Amino acid sequence: MYGTRPLVALLISLAVIAVSQSSVLGKPAAYDVLQTSPLDHGYDTKLQELVVEDKEQDDDEVPLEELTDDELEEYVNAEDGKLFSELDLISGKAALAAQKGRSKRWVGAAGRALFSAGRALARTLTKGRTTSSAGKITRQYHKAGDYQSAVRDFSSLNPSNPKPFTGKNGLEGITGQLGNKYTIQARSGSSSGSPTLEIFKNGKPDGSTVRKIRYD
């Protein structure tokens, strides 16, 4: 019995020390320590790094000034494929919205071509020059026709908010929006004299491509 007294005393002393330390730290302090787990912080930091990295990748632009003429042509060809596919979807969605409430069985030639307006236009074009200046690219195309041809191609893509305008030297035109990303404009004339149809990103940001179709 006597031999257990030192052990009991030691246990009591340890308990007193633990209580005194607890009273010094208090619950809020201990709670804060638990909340700042190195594991938790490591995970949060890694997640933030991934988000930043993903944003940087989205914002990456092709350094146009470093491309050779052949590389620039390849780049614009790839961008063209992307654009005309986007126009298929944009024009198709606009056509569906205009025909809201139609019978599902309605098909016809127009129905079968609902999501192909962009590619249909592309097949009628002959590629011209591709130039790069001031961080922007201009890809030119040629097509037989006149200003009315340009207006028909304009209408085939189902742009929203079409508005007529009068430009310099009394030239007329019409402008509209393709989705919320692109502007489309048909003009009765240009510096070269030919009617044109232009498609470009809103605001013509750096690195963007202007597609200009000349009707002659």
Q: What is the pLDDT of residue 86?
A: 95
Is 136 within 8 Å of 208 (Cβ atoms)? Answer: yes
* Tokens standing for residue 82: 């992307």
Greater pLDDT, 14 or 191 = 191
Q: Where are the domains of the chain?
A: 64-215
Task: Give the β-pairing of 182-187 and 172-178.
Answer: antiparallel
Greater pLDDT, 84 or 204 = 84
Tell me: the pLDDT tens digits for 5-56? 665 566 566 655 554 554 444 544 444 433 443 344 443 444 344 434 443 4
Tell me: the pLDDT tens digits for 61-115? 778 788 888 998 999 999 999 999 999 999 999 988 887 766 665 555 555 578 9
Q: What is the pLDDT of residue 7?
A: 58
With b meaning 16 or more CB within 10 Å and e meaning fewer, what string describes 110-129?
eeebbbbbbebbbeebeeee
Q: What is the pLDDT of residue 133?
A: 84
Tell me: the pLDDT tens digits for 121-140? 999 999 999 998 877 899 99
